[in-house]
Structure 1
Amino acid sequence: LLSLSPKHITTHGFRGTFKTWAEETTYGYSNNVIEACQAHKVGNKIEQHYFKGDFMEKRRKLMHEWGQFVESAL
């Protein structure tokens, strides 16, 4: 990523751009799915204790859409 981008673009900024893009331009993805895509813990301690899923299929679809968006900008 760094070799393809100007020096003012950072990995952290890229993650922030993903979060903004996902929240503002996608439909049908919960905040939990978006957070899971960024490897953030989802929910409070009680929710984490009872929910053992990984949102894998939803994450896969969201990241595919993100990849298409990024490719369209190159």
Structure 2
Amino acid sequence: MDFEKKLNRLEEIVQKMEKGELSLDESLKLFEEGVKLSRDCHGQLTNAEAQVKKLVSVDDKGNAVTENFSADEK
């Protein structure tokens, strides 16, 4: 399942749980699914961040000088 589908499913789960109309068993199952989806989405975002390059400066020829994005920098 791609990121957008996982995120949409996670939003559906949150909406269902916020209504408060589910049984305890249904709530637990959805909670478990939500945690898994959340972890998957976080992992995908972490991988995407690792691929991003940030602009450091421009050299004397006008070329962009980049370096790998560090997830530690926020």
Whether these two folds match at TM > 0.5 is no
Larger radius of gyration: 2
> TM-score scaled by structure 1?
0.39
Which one has a larger percent strand, Structure 1 or Structure 2?
2
